[in-house]
Chain A
Amino acid sequence: MLNFLGKRAVASGISFVGLVLLVFFLSRLTGDPTSLYLPLDASDEIKNQFREIHGLNDPLVVQFFNYMGDLIRFDFGDSIRRSEPAIDIVLRGFGWTLQLAAITLSLVIFFSIVLGSLAAFHVGGAFDRIATFFSLVGASAPDFWVAIVAIVVFSVTLGWVPTSGTGSFAHWILPVAVLFIRPFGLIVQIVRGSMITALSSAYVKTARAKGIKNRSIIFVHALRNALLPVITVIGDQAAALLNGAVVIETIFGFPGVGKLMIDSILQRDFAVVMAAIVVTALAIFLMNLVIDILYSILDPRIRY
């Protein structure tokens, strides 16, 4: 296992350097941020001073090596837009994103596994049909539309929950609920398909012949074997959530890293773009490692 972890760390490190290189030069290809931050009629002297302050007058290669030198010391530079350390801004946003992703994903995993398993156990039955219908609707519903409708119905008309923002338990309800729908719809379908295969296996028939209760057959015997493809899809969904739920963050005013990243790209705030990508890449690297370890726990035949 340690050998595997070492190899993964080296492979991820190489990918990480490649990613930093790519994002650094691609982001600079978008152009000079000076015109975005100064008035149109700013003098050439002021523009030059601005470029000097932000190190934009150096050749691109020099800027890159300066950046990498600073990065080794965990100095991500300052945001042009907010005049504060980029890493502080990103970690603040990432904290919100992490909470939103963790809560949503926990609910998705729980409900989709339970409902997907039960639907698979009653294939073709009323429960299966209802679960399939709602999961397909959920997987295909555009979240910006669901979010606005949810605000109009539950906040403006019924007044049950706040429209947006943060500050109390109630503020989490709508964002989590809207964010929940799509991955839930997708994973229910994956669980159902995988469980149908598992439940038709010889070992399940044997378990039934031995008189084991249905609950144990589903959740102890079949589920463990059905979970491998489910974990793969959950990993994909988690990666998407860690990158930030841009639509949800925008509509509900959640100060997460997704909207921050998009705004920073549009505003050519390179230090924040780089810091956001580095932090997100590290988080996804760690998550993939956890998923690999989970594979070997769920299926002892997998050895690293």
Chain B
Amino acid sequence: MFRKSRLFMATAIASTVAFSAHAQDNSVTIVLSEELEFVEPCMATKSNVGRVLFQNISETVTEMDPETGLQPRLAQSWEDMGDGTWRFHLREGVNFSDGTAMDADDIAHSLVRVKSPDIACEIGAKVFGGIEITSNIIDAHTIDITADPAQPILPLLMSLVTVTPQDAPLDSFVDHPIGTGPYTFDEYERGQFITLSANPNYWGDQPTVQSATYVFRADSAVRAAMVAAGEADIAPSIALQDATDPAMDFSYPNSETMFLSIGHAQAPLNDRRVREALNLAIDREAFIGTVLANGTLLATAITPPSTVGYNANLKPYAFDPDRARELLEEARADGVPVDAEITLLGRSNNFGNVLETMEAMLAMYQDVGFNMKLEMVEVAEWLERYAKPLPEDRGPTLIQALHDNANGDPVFSMYFKYHSNGQTSGLAYPEVDAMIEEATITTGDERTAKWSELFAFLHDEIIADVMLFHMVGFSRVNERLDFIPTIRTNSELQLSQIQFK
């Protein structure tokens, strides 16, 4: 019996050693929180897809660097030709991983493909929603791209368009992506792993990491344990309570901003005093270091401080429950139905401790006299109540949301959230619409000033929402790696930037 148990243990240990052996040498294992539904480059703005494909397999024409701004990638330079047209000069000698040369035809095809209604690409809808894009090929390595209406930040928009070969289908997703990136897509064993390996024909420098395996574990504690046990090298996202090892765990601003979206159409939320009371009733500081991580920042706008036009002069609303009560009494005296029941709508599993955060806010609101109830719903139901068309019979509602903008410009957020035609806008103010439209078409310092002015107007004048926190994410990184997560880690993970110590 004893010999049998020893044999059993020896077999188990041998298997473990065999398993962890691949996390050695110049390969890395990355443990993600969810499996990829698609391995389609035109869906790479979805964070789980982007962390595998974006700039690893599929590259973009330009590249946004949070430190240095917009940089060349497949284009070496670009220039504004006027009338909404930008000319891009492409890098020569770039090949796709199947050996075919990349040229202007591939860029033109990629632009058509991301907007193809037959496949409904995330990138097409997110970057070019409401914009007509046409291409004119000047020569094999020069292409004019025209946006209608004109987009002064077209080169920035091109930092999100993944380039696929011109034979990539317009009516279906690919299951084996081909790109120009430093890695090739080797295998996807559904439910288990994805493997990439270095592209020997890459146009740039050969990366240090020669191969990567992605595995999927839904539980944060398990992801953290895998890195601790040496089975994985990077867990890009772990929960606050699992980030317990200072030697391996990194916190970083994850580009997500938490806020309560106010529907301005319903009473009593259509009253500015009520909206101010909603802001004054929350003790924001009390959340940090308790249910939210240390390092979480108080927000005054929907985009993080690294975006163009972020208004550093704005001050978060102070916690002042007495003033909140006074404002509610003033509104009541003027006939505003401040006793109407307000729904505080939260999204289940949106981030760690979301339920605790929402319950604490509910208690703060009830304490100053709001008649409020909390509803926590799954993502599908939340979307139906957050995005237009909104339910006809909805009552006054505060909707908790996280908004992600790591792209450096508010244009990716402001129309969508605050223009009266925006898909998730709870506002209908002609002056806000005009300010968004003006800021969108300006450039340089003027653009910065206009966005800054809009942020102030939304925060101080009309009190558009209850701005809460710029969130912090946690990653666990094996000590053998020289890699520090950044604001981009929330949406991409460039293997070529990883070094070994």
B117–A49 CB distance below 8 A:
yes
Q: Is A259 an interface residue (CB 8 A)?
A: yes
Q: Is B67 an interface residue (CB 8 A)?
A: no
**Cα distance A267–B349 when bound, in Å?**
14
Contact A35/B383 with A159-B16, A159-B229, A163-B222 known, Cβ cut-off 8 Å: yes
Contact A82/B38 with A31-B380, A41-B125 known, Cβ cut-off 8 Å: yes
A46–B125 CB distance below 8 A:
yes
Residue-wise, chain B 315-346 has the 8 Å CB interface mask toward A (1 for contact) of: 00000000000000000000000000000000
B126–A170 CB distance below 8 A:
no
A window 247-287: CB within 8 A of B: 250-253, 255, 259, 266-268
A window 140-184: CB within 8 A of B: 148, 151-152, 155-156, 159-171, 173
**Cα distance A266–B378 when bound, in Å?**
7
**Interchain CB contact (< 8 A) of A33 among B15, B38, B380, B422:** B380
Q: Is A107 an interface residue (CB 8 A)?
A: no
Contact A162/B384 with A41-B423, A43-B130, A156-B225 known, Cβ cut-off 8 Å: no
Would you give the shortest CB distance from A44 to chain B, in whole angstroms? 10
**Cα distance A164–B38 when bound, in Å?**
23
**Cα distance A33–B423 when bound, in Å?**
17
**Cα distance A152–B13 when bound, in Å?**
16
Q: Which stretch, B211-219, B367-375, B426-434, touches the partner chain A?
A: B211-219
* Chain B interface residue count, Cβ-Cβ cutoff 8 angstroms: 50
A163–B218 CB distance below 8 A:
no
**Cα distance A35–B423 when bound, in Å?**
11
A40–B384 CB distance below 8 A:
no
Would you give the shortest CB distance from B112 to chain A, in whole angstroms? 15
Which chain B residues lie closer than 8 Å to A43 at the CB level? Answer: 125, 129-130
**Interchain CB contact (< 8 A) of B125 among A42, A162, A168, A170:** A42
A40–B383 CB distance below 8 A:
yes
Residue-wise, chain B 111-142 has the 8 Å CB interface mask toward A (1 for contact) of: 00000011010100110011000000000000
B225–A163 CB distance below 8 A:
yes
Q: Is B173 an interface residue (CB 8 A)?
A: yes
Contact A156/B228 with A31-B380, A40-B387, A252-B222 known, Cβ cut-off 8 Å: yes
Which chain A residues lie closer than 8 Å to B381 at the CB level? Answer: 31
* Chain A interface residue count, Cβ-Cβ cutoff 8 angstroms: 54
B229–A155 CB distance below 8 A:
yes
Would you give the shortest CB distance from A45 to chain B, in whole angstroms? 6
**Cα distance A14–B416 when bound, in Å?**
50
Which chain B residues lie closer than 8 Å to A173 at the CB level? Answer: 12
B window 15-43: CB within 8 A of A: 15-16, 18-20, 37-38
B380–A82 CB distance below 8 A:
no
Would you give the shortest CB distance from B348 to chain A, in whole angstroms? 10
A155–B12 CB distance below 8 A:
no
A164–B380 CB distance below 8 A:
no
Which residue of chain A lies nearest to B221 when distances are taken between CB atoms in the complex?
A: A148
**Interchain CB contact (< 8 A) of B117 among A36, A46, A155:** A46
Binding site for B on A (CB under 8 A): 30-33, 35-43, 45-46, 49-50, 53, 81-84, 89, 92-93, 96, 148, 151-152, 155-156, 159-171, 173, 250-253, 255, 259, 266-268
Q: Can you name 10 A-B pairs with beta carbons within 8 Å?
A: A35-B387, A40-B416, A49-B117, A96-B191, A159-B16, A162-B19, A165-B19, A165-B217, A169-B11, A251-B218
Q: What 10 A-B pairs come out closest when comparing CB atoms?
A: A255-B191, A170-B15, A168-B15, A42-B125, A39-B125, A35-B383, A49-B117, A41-B423, A81-B37, A170-B12
